[in-house]
Amino acid sequence: MRVKHKPWAKEKLAAHSAVVIQDPASCKGRWNEIFGNDQPIHVEIGSGKGQFVAGMAKQNPDINYIGIEVVESVLVIALDKVLAAEVPNVRLLAVDGASLQDYFEPSEISRIYLNFSDPWPKKRHAKRRLTNPRFLTLYQALLPKDGEIHFKTDNRGLFEYSLHALSEYGMVLHHVSLDLHKSDFEGNVMTEYEEKFSQQGYPIYRLEAVFR
């Protein structure tokens, strides 16, 4: 995601510490305390500019959402959207999604969203894809039995790879769509990328995968 560097981003993120958690490692095992309730917690890895996580939180006030975005100049845009949406059930983290085990205890979260992740199209980069088995092992260690991954992309190659990887890992697939916006799926919240690609006529691929 190409976004102009914002040298003031770190300061603004720190100024909103009620939303942007400054020391997420200290919250490990305490997230329901941080939110002040016992609602289920869903995590979006690579939340980008925040349209999805803010929209989902608005649509589902009975669920807590955590958006993870490592690029501070992008996360500060997500912060603005969360503040504008006035959703108390969102927290943002400026961390690497590959280190989830540093911030969450097993079964502390119940769902992970992977939206328009980098496809890493070259075979030698396959281990970097967020649906690669090494990431699935990480997710399984943190999610409860029957924990879910919800995945969307515009990249057919990544979608086909993910279908195979998730199936081979033993996950159960639901609501597999080769053209989300022409399906009967209800409650979809679009990301910025999703709006852009769908307006250009590209199909959006989506699936839900459940650990068993």
- pLDDT per position as a tens digit, 33-89: 999 999 999 999 999 999 999 999 999 999 999 999 999 999 999 999 999 999 999
Q: Tell me the per-residue pLDDT of 102-144, one tens digit each, with 9 for 90 and over.
A: 999 999 999 999 999 999 999 999 999 999 999 999 999 999 9
Ordered by start, the domain boundaries in the chain are 9-210
Q: What is this structure's pTM? A: 0.96
118, 146, 154, 179: which is the annotated catalytic residue? Answer: 118
Q: Which fold has domain 9-210?
A: Rossmann fold (3.40.50)
Sign for the pseudo-dihedral over CA of 179, 87, 50, 157: negative
* 43, amino acid identity: V
Instruction: Say what the alpha-carbon torsion angle 25, 20, 115, 1 is, to the nearest 10 degrees.
Output: -110
DSSP for residue 104: -
Is position 62 annotated as part of the catalytic site? Answer: no
What SS3 class is residue 73? helix
Residue 1: which pLDDT band, with cuts at 50, 70 and 90?
low
- For residues 96 and 70, the answer to whether their CB atoms sit within 8 Å is yes
20 CB contacts (<8 Å, ≥6 apart)? Answer: 13, 14, 75, 79, 91, 92, 93, 94
Distances (CA, A) of 101 to 86, 95, 105: 29, 12, 7
Lookup: tokens for 119: 């496809």
DSSP for residue 204: -
